[in-house]
Amino acid sequence: MAALLVRRAHAATAAMPARAVLGASTRTGHVTRAATGLDPSVLAEIAEEAHWRGRRLRSRPWPSLPAPLATAWHDWRRFARRPGRLAVLFGVAVLPALVARASGGLTPLTAAAVLAGGLAAAASGVSGARRDGDDPALARLLGAGFRSVLAARALLPALLGAAWLAVALGGLTLAGALPAGPWLLLGAAAAPALAAAALRMARRRPVDHSMPVIDTGGGAVPTGPVMWGLTGVDLAVAGCLPLALALTGGSAGPGAFLVAQALTGAAALAAYLLCARRGG
């Protein structure tokens, strides 16, 4: 009986769904690692691995671009191959107008919705920067400088952030929540700061659970996850402060904040490129 069972098991091996079993085992390992490490960034790695595991990659010639731009080229290709994500991304650009209508005009909540949406749009194009943080060997093999690669990586999130802000601010203008003014230029000036914040979010280190826990009236607050969640958001708020002040109904018009926003956005990106380190 044992010999018969071994023979039948050997015969059924060829029909065993090895790909499905391997995929389930890999997903289980990733989920277990994310749960035991309490690190939300691992969830993004699970999605990336699940996306590429079922693909058959074909050999293609390397684009005839400078080395820093060539390393960022696959971000553009990958984003262009997902038109559904682009449609959803710009479909939710009407949310600031809905928030302004619900809250009765320009409020801090409206400014927060605009900045959060712009940061989310910029962060959707930085998957390559996340990969570089784990494996920077490709940039070293191409002889590209670390900061030049980061600058090339910032082009796509800056474009996405500027486009999303243009649609969102245009929606606010059509809804009557914003007065006439150079709002599109103001959104474009905030794009470098959003790109720097998105790169900072993509390259942040895992959650440091060794940080102290603060006891408050509402309960214990672990500072490790809080600091992890604020990484990148702090740079976006600081770099887009003139835009936020213009949206909250400052005494001056949006044109008065345009130069300040252009300088602040460029300074945020330049400061991040100068202070960024290879380790994240």
- In this prediction, residue 189 has a pLDDT band, given cuts at 50, 70 and 90, of very high
More confident call, 251 vs 278: 278
- In this prediction, residue 270 has a pLDDT band, given cuts at 50, 70 and 90, of very high
Rounded Cα distance, 138 and 132, in Å: 8
Q: Are 156 and 109 in contact (CB under 8 A)?
A: no
For residue 262, give Cα distances in angstroms to 30, 79, 119, 165, 259: 42, 27, 17, 14, 5
Q: Are 130 and 153 in contact (CB under 8 A)?
A: no
Highest-confidence segment of 45-59, 133-147, 247-261: 247-261
Q: Which of 61-65, 132-136, 199-203 has the lowest mean pLDDT?
A: 132-136
Chain centroid offset of residue 271 CA: 19
For residue 196, give Cα distances in angstroms to 122, 190, 232, 238, 276: 9, 10, 8, 11, 10
Three-state SS at 105: coil
Please give the pLDDT value at position 155: 92
pLDDT digits (tens, 9 = 90+) for 2-50: 888 888 887 777 776 666 666 666 667 766 766 655 666 666 667 777 7
Rounded Cα distance, 97 and 108, in Å: 13
Please give the pLDDT value at position 237: 92
Q: What is the mean pLDDT of the chain?
A: 81
Q: Are 261 and 190 in contact (CB under 8 A)?
A: yes
178: left (phi over 0), alpha (psi -120 to 50) or beta: beta
Q: Are 183 and 257 in contact (CB under 8 A)?
A: no
- In this prediction, residue 167 has a pLDDT band, given cuts at 50, 70 and 90, of very high
Place of tokens 């006891």: 215
pLDDT at 134 over 70: no
pTM over 0.85: no
DSSP annotation of 218: T
Q: Which of 33-47, 110-124, 199-213, 218-232 has the lowest mean pLDDT?
A: 33-47
Rounded Cα distance, 151 and 199, in Å: 10
Report, as an integer, the average pLDDT of 254-276.
Answer: 88
Please give the pLDDT value at position 160: 93
More confident call, 235 vs 217: 235
Q: Which residues of 191-218 are buried (b: 16+ CB within 10 A; e: fewer)?
A: bbbbbbbbbbbbbbeebeeeeeeeeeee
Report, as an integer, the average pLDDT of 205-209.
Answer: 78
Please give the pLDDT value at position 161: 93
pLDDT at 267 over 90: yes
Rounded Cα distance, 158 and 125, in Å: 9
Q: Which stretches does DSSP call E strand in the chain?
A: 213-216, 219-222
pLDDT at 135 over 70: no
Q: What percent of the chain has pLDDT over 90?
A: 20
Q: What percent of the chain has pLDDT over 70?
A: 79
Q: Are 183 and 189 in contact (CB under 8 A)?
A: no
